[in-house]
Amino acid sequence: MPLTIAEAAKQIAARKLSPVELAQERLARAEALNPTIWAFIRITPEPALAAAKAAEARQMSGSLKGPLDGIPFAHKDIYCTAGIPTTAHSAQFIDHVPTEDATTVKWLAEAGVVSLGKLATHEFAFGGPSFDLPWPPAHNPWNPKHFTAGSSSGTGAAVSAGIIMGGTGSDTGGSIRGPSALCGIAGIKPTYGLCPRTGILPLAQSLDHAGPMARTAEDCALLLQAMAGHDPADPASAQVEIPDYTAALGQGVKGKTIGVVRHFHEVDNPVSPATLAGIERAIAALKDAGATVKDVTLPSLWEFNYAGWPILMAEAFSVHETRMQTAPEKFGEGLRHRLAFGGLVSAADYIGAQKRRLELIARTKAATEGIDLLLTATAPGEAPPIDKVPKWALLEKPGFTMPGNILGWPAMSVFTGLGAGELPVAAQIIGKPFDDAGVLAAGHLLEQALGTLELAPKI
């Protein structure tokens, strides 16, 4: 089994694991596996080894910064990194070299992570898989002929393959939770505003969330601790007290009420038998742990998606309008066509979608009174073959992740097992605003109960 952050941190603290040797081993693994899974756009050995040596010096002097010090890590290539190209996986930004780190990149570096490079993403975090970009799309380590989902595709692949122990993702319509589900790892889209987006190339600002991806909920808690906080440079950044997410993992779910949004995954977009079985195993585990579980009815998945996609596409077009009008050929076809639809959303339709969004939030709040957490699917099933992903799939069936973006509530993908194709399936836990700790605690409990921490791709 690949080491988790929590396990590696203990070994580093006990001087049983050298951050430099760890970085060297993981850099070699990145170089060896990248021609198969294409998780990295750019591997950066020199700054990685410099950071690892600094971590090792702190290890030897007894001045480690904490559990992330010396941990192999990487950033999705929409997170700006000073002096290192940040391309958004696009020809449009192929020469873009930021002069400053994103706020979360800075905070994670201050916590001691060792960044091995920049990770593949769907172009500007939207669309994909695309085969007409300067780099190939990431492939799934469980079976490289299959899709990772996206847009944080490289992060999902690199964590799953045991190259990095954690990485950054972003989630505007499901881009953390989707690849976490299909790659069999953990990923949390935190509450809107909990992690600042300053220095992260935007997709759709009213839906964009930054967050961590890792093998386990515990590792996500460790990473979220470093990524959460107020940044006045992000107008949406929340000013809230940040709890100790790792300490809260032990709270479990005893005495909590879990609402199963059964109509999402049985009626609105029926899931595969393995996905459904995973959700039922999760329900049993939550009951065993002392939770009250009952069905809950929310607005349909279609309603969330009908409000979400016009908002997302219109905001994305506003970000890229000039590029679409002057050099559309420098986008991949998939993103170019989605942005074109975004340009056709009228002002009245955009305002209507935002009004609908507030109505959906109000209706969901009313329907979940007395309920602590929600449970449903993250994805309909296992990863499809990467060359058989329909270009317009997002418009054909309603996604399970858009409600979390519309609501702004914390939502996490939990690996529940393998399906008929020996590929991961997952469940999704959604919490109330700023109860990210409660979501992580439920995810932690489920990982232990379902035994999925014992599963890893044979690559």
Partner 1 sequence: MSETPTLETMNLMLARAGIALPAAEVEELRQHWPLFEPMLAGLRKPALPTSAELAVTYQARR
Rounded-to-integer distance, Cα 77 and Cα 97, Å: 11
**317 near partner 1 (CB under 8 A):** yes
Q: Indicate the residue among 95 and 396 with the shorter CB distance to partner 1.
A: 396
Give, as ranges, the residues between 90 and 119 that touch partner 1 (CB under 8 A): none
Which positions from 240 through 259 interact with partner 1, judged by CB under 8 A? 240
293 beta partners? 258
Q: Which of 151, 160, 180, 237 is catalytic?
A: 151
Residues 6+ apart with CB under 8 A from 277: 417
Least Å distance between CB 203 and partner 1?
15
State the chain's maximal CA–CA distance in angstroms. 61
3-state DSSP call for residue 431?
A: strand
Name the phi and psi angles at 264, rounded to 5. -55, -55
Residue from 48, 116, 291, 353 touching partner 1 (CB under 8 A): that is 353
Report residue 291 as tokens: 């939770």
Contact call for residue 355 and partner 1 (CB under 8 A): yes
Determine whether 454 is exposed, middle or buried from the number of CB atoms within 10 Å of its CB (0-12, 13-18, 19+): exposed
Given candidates 67, 310, 399, 404, which one binds partner 1 under the rule CB under 8 A? 310
User: Radius of gyration over alpha carbons of the chain, in Å?
Assistant: 20
Is 151 designated active site? Answer: yes
* Pairing state between β 373-377 and 424-431: antiparallel
> At closest approach, how far in Å is the CB of 204 from partner 1?
12
Strand pairing category for 114-119 and 186-189? unpaired
Q: Which helix (H) or strand (E) holds 350?
A: helix 347-367
Residue 61 engages partner 1 in binding (rule: CB under 8 A): no
Among 309, 400, 409, 415, binds partner 1 (CB under 8 A): 309
Verify binding: residue 200, partner 1, rule CB under 8 A.
Answer: no
Give the count of alpha carbons within 13 A of 342, CB side only.
25
Which of 7, 234, 207 shows the shortest CA–CA distance to 104?
234
State both tokens at 391. 């270009």
By CB under 8 A, is residue 300 in contact with partner 1?
no
Shortest distance (Å) from residue 385 CB to partner 1: 22
CB 76 within 8 A of CB 157: no
Span near partner 1 by CB under 8 A; candidates 64-72, 119-127, 293-301, 331-339: 331-339
Q: What does each C-alpha distance from 338 to 15, 123, 394, 452 come to in angstroms?
A: 50, 11, 10, 36
For position 409 contacting partner 1 by CB under 8 A, the verdict is no
**Shorter beta-carbon distance to partner 1: residue 18 or 305:** 305
| Known active-site residue 130 | no
Strands of 86-195 (E only): list them: 114-119, 166-171, 186-189
User: Shortest approach of partner 1 to residue 236 CB, angstroms?
Assistant: 4
By CB under 8 A, tell whether 233 contacts partner 1: no
Q: What gap in Å lies between CA 432 and CA 436, rounded to an integer?
A: 8
Answer whether 155's CB lies under 8 Å from 119's CB.
yes
CB of 366 to partner 1, least distance (A): 14
Q: Which one of 129, 137, 173, 193 is in contact with partner 1 (CB under 8 A)?
A: 193
Closer Cβ to partner 1, 98 or 433, answer by number:
433
Is residue 229 involved in binding partner 1 (CB under 8 A)? Answer: no
* Nearest distance, CB of residue 313 and partner 1, angstroms: 8
Decide: is 50 part of the binding site for partner 1 (CB under 8 A).
Answer: no
Q: Beta-strand (E) ranges in 231-354?
A: 257-260, 292-295
Residue 301 CB, shortest distance to partner 1, in Å, is 13
List the beta strands (DSSP E) in 21-141.
Answer: 40-43, 72-76, 114-119
Contact 155, 31 (CB under 8 A): no
Q: Is the CB of 148 or the CB of 401 nearer to partner 1?
A: 401
Which tokens go with 214? 């890792």
Q: How far is the CB of 459 from partner 1 (least distance, A)?
A: 36
Single residue of 28, 351, 363, 385 touching partner 1 by CB under 8 A? 351
By CB under 8 A, name the one of 25, 100, 132, 321 that touches partner 1. Answer: 321
Choose which of 336, 412, 428, 452 interacts with partner 1 (CB under 8 A).
Answer: 336
| Catalytic-residue membership of 413 | no
Catalytic (active-site) positions:
76, 151, 175
By CB under 8 A, name the binding residues for partner 1: 192-193, 206, 235-240, 305-307, 309-310, 317, 321, 324-325, 328, 333, 336-337, 340-341, 343-346, 348-349, 351-359, 362, 392, 395-396, 408, 433-434
